[in-house]
Structure formats: C-alpha cells, structure tokens
Amino acid sequence: MTASQPKPPFRLRWIDIKEQLTGYLFVSPAVLIISLFGLFPIGYAFYMSVFNWNVRKGDFNGLDNYEKAIGDWTGLGIFIAGFLLMGVAYWVWQNALKSASNRVLLVGAFTAFLLLAAGWVISDGWARMLLTGDDRYLESLPLTVFYALGTVPAELALALLLAYALFQNIRGKEFFRMLYFLPYITPAVASAVVFRTIFSPRETSLVNQFIGLFGIEAQKWLFEPKPLVNLMFGTELEGFFAGPSMAMVSIILFGVWTYVGYNTVIFLAGLGSIPPELYEAAEIDGANAWQSFRHITLPLLSPVTFYLALIAFIGTFKAFNHIYVMRVPSAQGTVNVASVEIFDTFYKSNQYGYAAAQAILLFFIIMALTVVQNKIFGEKVFYG
C-alpha cells in the first residue's frame, strides 16, 4: 500500500511476506480454476493437434492434421502473401494521404493496382488450398466472415440509432432500455424455438406473411441453401461472391435481434459521457442536428464504437449457440460457420486431434483479425 514511495531497500520483513502470501492466497482459487479450464487446455489442444487422435490417443503425426485442413502449404503461403500485399496497399495509401502530395491520383492508381493484385493472389492461394484441403472446414471460414459482416455493422448501426433516439429528452427511457435488452438475456435455445417458427418455410409463417405485404412470394428461409442474391435477382453466382445463403441470412437476422440491445446500452452510456457544453457551443455556432451528430457525437463516440466492434467481431468468430440451434439439415451446411464445423468434427465424427487442429487455426485467425482491427481502426479512434 506504499506504492508512491521510492524503492525501499530489499529486506525480508514478516509483514511484507504476509502481505505477499495473502495476495497469493486470495487469487489462488480463481487462478487455479482459470488455469485448469482456460489456460491448460490451450497447451493441451496444441498437443492433441499433432496426434492422430480419434477418441483415444494414437500416433504422433506432426502437422498432418493441419495439412488435412489447409491442404497446401504453398497455397496458404500465397493466400497470406495476398493479405500482406493488401496491407502494403493500405500503407501506401495512408502515407500518400499524410504527405498530402499532389500525386494523389498516381498513388491512387498504384493502390488500386496493388489491391487488384492482392485480390488475385488471395483467390489463387485459396483455390490451391481448396484443391487438396478439407472443403468443409475451408468453406466454413468464408461463412464465418459472412456471419460477422452480416451481423456486426447492422448491429452497431441499429444500436447507435436506438441509443441516439433514447438519449433525446424522452419519456420512459428506462422502460425502452429494458425492453431492448430482453433478447440479449434470453437463452439461445429458447429464442431459437421462436425464431425457427418465425422463419419457417410455411406460407403462414410470420416473415412470409410480412414479405407478403410487399407482394413477395413465400420463401423457404432457414431451409433455403441458395444464396440470397441469386434468389433476389435471379443470378447464378457461385462461391464466395454469391454471398450468404438465405438460411444464413435468417440466422444473421436472429443474431442482430439478439445483440442490438446490448450495444444500445453501451452506446447510451457513451453518449452520456459526452459533455453537453459541446452541443451547446455547436448550437450557438449554428450547427444543425446532423452536423453536431457528425462532428461531435461520432468522433467522441469512436472509442466506444471501436470497443464494441472489436468485441462483436471476435464474438461472431466464436459464435456457436445461436447458429447451432437454428441449423436444419435442409440448409445443407451453408450455415456451418467455423465453430459449428469444429464441433461436428469433434462431436459427430469423433476426430479429436483434427478438431483441435481446426480450433487452433481458428484461434490464429481471431488473433490476426484482432491485430489488424487494432492497427487499422485503433488509429482512427479519437480519445479526446
């Protein structure tokens, strides 16, 4: 408790030792449990991933499990190189903006070229991996990306809208806040029971009645493995650019419904911490509502937005319950995001070692995403 003093000479005093021991004693129950069920498993998952381990431990097989998932190491190398190239493009563009030179057009063209090249390299690497890799696992990754990109931005935008509306002088603010939060606390299995009937393919289901109001014919929703874009525009796209299946879109809507309220509550707190004097000053200077939202609220809220985006993004890459309970066989695996696929490998096919390798690959992807997100958006955050 004497943190502010200059370093005392190192002496063993009973009272210090007692203080230290008390500290260790106090943290030991929590540290023990978290080490056992949170830390140890990471090391052990690595260990399992290099064995041929189906229910019982088999032979050591090096990186075979990883190779089975990825397919082609060269492919992976090319794939990653493509992303690095994208990073270079981003860096070039940032530097060009900073130096504010008059060659912006030239640099712009160069960046565009780099991006195109990166896109080509990425798809080449990906194609190589798909050739020999585990299709089910590899395809679960873009599905995870669809889920993340489908839920996070929509979730944050809606939450900001609701929080901003709640923040005006309105009656019943706490009542609204309470209602918005309900979906978040509801068990996924229970809300899935409801959403499975809402998004059922019956003509009388709630969504089909709703789109019927706009003259759209009944859809199969959760049971529809075809990409949404193809259904809407009659196109015949395939692969990544076809986008998520309609079943996946239904699950995305379910995810958005669940998490909007949580984000609203945190946005609302963020709005509350913006000093009201700023708004008054802006009003005196003649700013309208949109201008003060754009130039005061958004920048000052950016740390909150960044925090929420980070949490939500990692969350979607880990998401399991909300997808697993909405999955029906008719969706033909178009909703099997990475965590669901890993669960199947582990629980259904009993390939423990291989599932561990898949999980560790997912872990690396999440870490990479976190770093990238920190790098790109962390810089843009305004901390006042």
Partner 1 sequence: MDKPLAAPVALSVSAPKKFQPRQDWKRALVYLVLILGAFVAVLPFFWMISASLMTLGETINRQWIPKIPQWENYITAWEEAKFAKYFLNSVVITLVSLAGLLFTSILAGYAFARIKFRGRDLIFAILLATMMIPESVTMIPNFLMVRGSIIPLPGPAAWKGSWLNQLPALTVPFMANAFSIFLLRQFFIKIPDELWDAARLDGAGHLRFLVQIVLPLSKAPIMTVLTFGFIGAWNAFLWPLLVTTKDTWRPLMVGLWTFVNEAGPETQLLMAGAVITVIPMLIIYFLTQKQFTEGIATTGLKG
Under rule CB under 8 A, which residues in 72-111 are in contact with partner 1?
none
Neighbours of 147 (CB within 10 A): 25
- Does 150 interact with partner 1 (rule: CB under 8 A)? no
Write the CA distances from 286 to 159, 165, 181, 280, 292, integer angstroms: 28, 22, 36, 10, 10
Site residues (CB under 8 A) for partner 1, limited to 4-33: 19-20, 22-24, 26-27, 29-31, 33
Give the nearest distance from C-beta 380 to partner 1 in angstroms: 18
- Closer to partner 1 at the Cβ: 268 or 335? 268
* Helix locations, the chain, DSSP H: 14-34, 40-49, 64-70, 73-99, 104-132, 135-167, 173-185, 188-198, 206-212, 228-233, 246-272, 276-284, 289-292, 298-318, 321-324, 338-343, 352-378
- Does 176 interact with partner 1 (rule: CB under 8 A)? yes
Give the nearest distance from C-beta 137 to partner 1 in angstroms: 12
- Does 374 interact with partner 1 (rule: CB under 8 A)? no
Question: Which residues lie closer than 8 Å to 243 by C-beta, 6 or more apart?
Answer: 146, 227, 228, 229, 237
- Closer to partner 1 at the Cβ: 111 or 302? 302
Q: Is 55 left (phi over 0), alpha (psi -120 to 50) or beta?
A: left
Position among 69, 228, 323, 342 found at the interface with partner 1 (CB under 8 A):
342
Give the nearest distance from C-beta 129 to partner 1 in angstroms: 20
Give the nearest distance from C-beta 16 to partner 1 in angstroms: 9
Neighbours of 301 (CB within 10 A): 22
Give the nearest distance from C-beta 351 to partner 1 in angstroms: 10
Write the binding mask 281 to 320 for partner 1: x where contact by CB under 8 A, - elsewhere: --------x--------------x--x------x--xx-x
- Closer to partner 1 at the Cβ: 102 or 168? 168
Residue 45 CA to residue 157 CA, distance in Å, equals 37
Number of residues that bind partner 1 (CB under 8 A): 102
Residue 26 CA to residue 276 CA, distance in Å, equals 43
For residue 83, give the nearest of 73, 72, 91 by alpha carbon. 91
- Does 362 interact with partner 1 (rule: CB under 8 A)? yes
- Does 157 interact with partner 1 (rule: CB under 8 A)? no
For residue 139, give the nearest of 252, 255, 245 by alpha carbon. 245
Write the binding mask 182 to 221 for partner 1: x where contact by CB under 8 A, - elsewhere: xx-xxxxxxxxxxxxxx---x-xxx--x------------
Position among 321, 332, 373, 381 found at the interface with partner 1 (CB under 8 A):
321
Position among 265, 300, 312, 331 found at the interface with partner 1 (CB under 8 A):
265
DSSP three-state, residue 203: coil
Hey, what amino acid is at 369? L
Only segment of 73-81, 126-134, 351-359, 371-379 that touches partner 1 (CB under 8 A): 351-359
Give the nearest distance from C-beta 242 to partner 1 in angstroms: 26
Q: Give the bridge partners for 51, in sequence order.
A: 60
Residue 343 CA to residue 172 CA, distance in Å, equals 43
Give the nearest distance from C-beta 331 to partner 1 in angstroms: 16
Q: Is the Cα dihedral 124, 127, 132, 133 positive or negative?
A: positive
DSSP three-state, residue 151: helix
- Does 165 interact with partner 1 (rule: CB under 8 A)? yes
Give the nearest distance from C-beta 111 to partner 1 in angstroms: 32
Residue 345 CA to residue 349 CA, distance in Å, equals 5
- Closer to partner 1 at the Cβ: 115 or 314? 314
- Closer to partner 1 at the Cβ: 34 or 237? 34
- Closer to partner 1 at the Cβ: 25 or 105? 25
Give the nearest distance from C-beta 294 to partner 1 in angstroms: 16
